[in-house]
Amino acid sequence: MGRVILDRQTSFSSGHRYWDPALSDAENRALYGRWASQFNHGHNYVLRAAVAGEVDYKTGMVVNIKDIDAILIERIRVRFDQKSINDEVPELAGKTPCLENLLAHFADVLTELPAGAELTSLKLEETPLLYGEWHKETDMTTLTRIYEFAASHRLHSDALSAAENEELFSKCWNPEGHGHNYLLEVTVSGRPDERTGMITSIDDLDKRVHELVVDRYDHKNLNRDVPELVGKVPTSEVVSEEIFAQLDGNLPAQLERVRLHETARSSFEVVR
């Protein structure tokens, strides 16, 4: 049989600041955007660690969850919870306490695990609208930013008869349309900046995603108001593909994934 993956969560509250004392105020603000400050701000971080291994059939476990919890507490929570990362975590002194640098540090401190278990990936959420991921297989770190827009659509295909449309799309074929509060996840990768450790400026990413998609789609009728969707059936599959096409090659980092949540129960993903 193949390996089994155990995913375990921990959390911690930490303060940090984006500010290099060797730079001027203007240089810091150019580097870190609206987050530049000499003073700390805080986050309730959520970390998920995925651990893989063979099942020991004497215990029925890959690794004892108690052992993983003890490691997460000892190596991460105790050292980060209620601490200022810039000032109280020696290993990160002089480094920007961004998601990318935190993930790299956590990957290092979680390399040695019991019972032959192996760390395979990490997901670190800084806010409900921003998280980073690290995957051992590719040694890739990605950033994901989440946006919201409200839009209406009607599911109708000119290639089908009225009866076929009604049978296929049911209430979504309503002639007056219907709406959703969409959540859009945009995931990017790239080479971290040598000074900041960041893949990209969140300010720059936000600006481009709003220009290219969010501001153009928000409070619009997708059938009529968005040129790339006119004449197409604006299912979330099609909308996801068009959003990927709009963003690909036009962001300050490489686009890796678009995930569109139409409702709390349905999401649609396009990956590179």
Task: Tell me whether residue 262 is one of the annotated catalytic residues.
Answer: yes
Q: How many residues does the chain have?
A: 272
Contact in structure between 267 and 260 (CB atoms under 8 Å): yes
- Residues 6 or more apart whose Cβ sits within 8 Å of residue 228: 242, 245, 246
Which of 135, 172, 228, 237 is labelled catalytic?
172
Query: What's the token pair of residue 197?
Result: 């450790």
Task: Tell me whether residue 219 is one of the annotated catalytic residues.
Answer: yes
Percentages (nearest 5) of helix, strand, coil residues in the chain: 35, 35, 35
- Burial call 48-71: b when 16+ CB within 10 Å, e when fewer: bbbbbbeeeeeeebbbeeeebeeb
Which of 27, 41, 54, 219 is labelled catalytic?
219
**Catalytic residue list:** 172, 219, 262
